Amino acid sequence: MTTQAELLSEHACFGGEQRFYRHESREIGLPMKFSVFLPPQASTGPVPALLYLAGLTCNEETFMAKAGAQRLAAELGLALVAPDTSPRGANLPGEADSWDFGVGAGFYLDATQAPWSAHYRMESYLTAELLPLLTATLALDPERLGIFGHSMGGHGALTLALRHPGLFKSVSALAPICAPSQCAWGRKAFSGYLGHDEDAWLAHDASDLMRQRPGAPFPGGILVDQGLGDKFLADQLRPELFEAACAAANQPLLLRRHAAYDHGYYFIASFMDDHLRHHAGLLRHNG
């Protein structure tokens, strides 16, 4: 990967390697950073990989440092990939004025509105650039890719999985924004990135996308965990709307609600093993 991405650092980790990279992105038009955990099995051949999408204000380091995922990923032979959450350095007016829009808040879509449309192209970056780069240059199996994420990244995981079902063979989420067109975070982001035509927003709303799908796009099931002590649950996350959409589409969904857990990485770390095993089981069958 030395010709296409700069290796910033690497660290021995549970018999594998934790790496951090930077590269010049053609889709974003700016340098982008990402992290990769390669399990020990990657030294002998391609392994399945999970793309993790982090939440608001996070970056490519957050998941790798806080989630505690590498130990079991090494045991299961899963690679982990974590991109940044938005472009950096675009220097657009207002991009750093708030924590829920602009820098650190790319919402994993391609903006259609100026000036955001020039650089805020996270969907194309991930699906058309980063994953092809990684599967071409590292020992990652392009036929065994899963996706998961947290909060804004949970929204990204659900929507990208539904928008690219041939690319991702498994999907899960932790405290995802399930109906962004019906919450303040989503409406702010969508109006800025996509404009004020609310019909256009629905193509990036997991609950509406699920309602539009004929049959179950993920017959192996979708796993979602949600803490009941999460202060964002009622106003921003709305998992009951995704639950209803899955039921209407006959999409198997395991939505687990956990008393007392909040929105942060202590919650994520508590249920990370279950998510890794969920993906490992499904990606093994696709191998």
Measured at the CA of 188, the angle between CA 186 and CA 193, to 5 degrees, comes to 90
Radius of gyration for the alpha carbons in the chain, expressed in angstroms and rounded = 18
Q: Which residue out of 25, 151, 170, 181 is catalytically annotated?
A: 151
Q: Pick the catalytic residue from 263, 275, 278, 279.
A: 263
Partners of 171 in beta bridges: 147
Active site includes 23?
no
Provide the edge-to-edge strand list for the sheet that holds 170-174: 6-13, 16-24, 31-38, 79-83, 47-53, 140-150, 170-174, 222-227, 253-258
43 is catalytic: no
- Residue 151 annotated as catalytic: yes
**Residue 136 CB-density burial (10 A; 0-12 exposed, 13-18 middle, 19+ buried):** exposed
Q: List the catalytic residues.
A: 151, 230, 263
